Amino acid sequence: MQPFALLASGLAAGLVAGTASCTAVQGGLLVGLTSGGCERPSRDPVLVAWFLTGRLVSYSAAGVLLGLAGSAVSLPPEVRALLLVAAGITVIAYAIRLLRRRRSGCDEAPRRAARSAPLLGAATILIPCGVTLGMEMVAVSSGSPLGGAAVMAGFVLGTAPAFALLGWVLRRVSRTRLARLAGVAALVAGLWTVGSGVSLGGWLATPGTAAGEYTRAATAESTAAAGQGARTVTVWATRDGYRPGMVTARAGVSVEVVFKLADQGCTRTVTIAGRDFALPATVRLPPQRPGSLRYVCGMGMYSGYINFS
């Protein structure tokens, strides 16, 4: 695919699917821009622009590496989980700083904010949302540094309007009596990010079940397959999670897990058995011992289980 087509593809993905997903996951880092909330309002667009510039540079550089070296430079799920936890702790620190901030020290705020804005923007590459992971896979498949940079840059440009609006709102709110409310919201976002990292890493995994629009059909299909001795189970990826949240497969034989995509969202990328897959996809698992195998979306928000028996 030509670089221009890849740029357009990334732009469309950012506008259509990436806006809500990535701002929810990465927007917490924008709280760092509020540390200079005592500056004059005319600097708000400049600092937000620096944030977006840092984001564009880091994503484009990642696209070059992915297109050049392929999946060899992709971060494994365990590393991404640790980065999510670290990012969440960083956001929590910014939130506490916002809650405790006083009007003193404003003389240093412009210089500090100018330095931190592009770094915060660049750091968003370390907190990939589900759509970001999909774009990274496209960059890998392009096999070209230019193509990889084009699709990642297009994705950043597609999500830029939402990030610009969120950054501007946070900067303005930080000067009002709502600053403490913004700090509480940031604190919640940080805790949520830490929880997503823990979920992605599987460090506190607890089996559970889920119900939804596709539960009955997928459960019937999976149960019938298992009862007939077949080696295939089906899972639907919806915007609210995976349906059914728990399926049964045969132990001791190779099993195919058919992931079908019902909605666009973070569940469109799944991590299972230590590998990432963009959906729809059929994942072939080697023979498993009796027990449960957990899978999770690329953001660590939604998970499901396969019970082998």
Q: pLDDT of 243-269, one tens digit each?
A: 988 999 988 899 999 999 887 777 888
Shared domain check, 81 and 29: yes
Predicted pLDDT at 106: 52
Residues 116, 11, single domain; the answer is yes
For 72, half-sphere exposure in the C-beta direction (CA atoms, 13 angstrom radius) is 7
Is the pLDDT assigned to residue 105 strictly greater than 90?
A: no
Is residue 239, in this structure, part of any structural domain at all? Answer: yes
**Do 145 and 34 have their domain in common?**
yes
Which pLDDT value is given to residue 107? 46
Q: Assess whether 118 and 229 both reside in one domain.
A: no
- Residue-range definition of the domain harbouring residue 292: 215-308
Q: Is the pLDDT of residue 18 over 70?
A: no
- Asked if residue 207 is part of any domain, the answer here is no
| 191/169 same-domain check | yes
The CATH number covering residue 256 comes to: 2.60.40.420
Position 161 in a domain = yes
**Is the residue at 209 inside a domain?**
no
- pLDDT computed for residue 218 by the predictor: 43
pLDDT exceeds cutoff 90 at 93: no
* Range picked from 19-28, 53-62, 100-109 for highest mean pLDDT: 53-62
How many independent structural domains does the chain possess? 2
Average pLDDT of the chain, as a whole number: 77
Q: What is the pLDDT of residues 192-202, one digit of tens each?
A: 888 888 888 77
Average pLDDT over residues 283-300: 87
Model confidence over 140-174: pLDDT tens digits? 878 788 989 999 999 999 989 988 888 888 777 76
Q: Is residue 15 part of a domain?
A: yes
78 plus 225 within the same structural domain: no
Count how many residues are written for the chain.
309
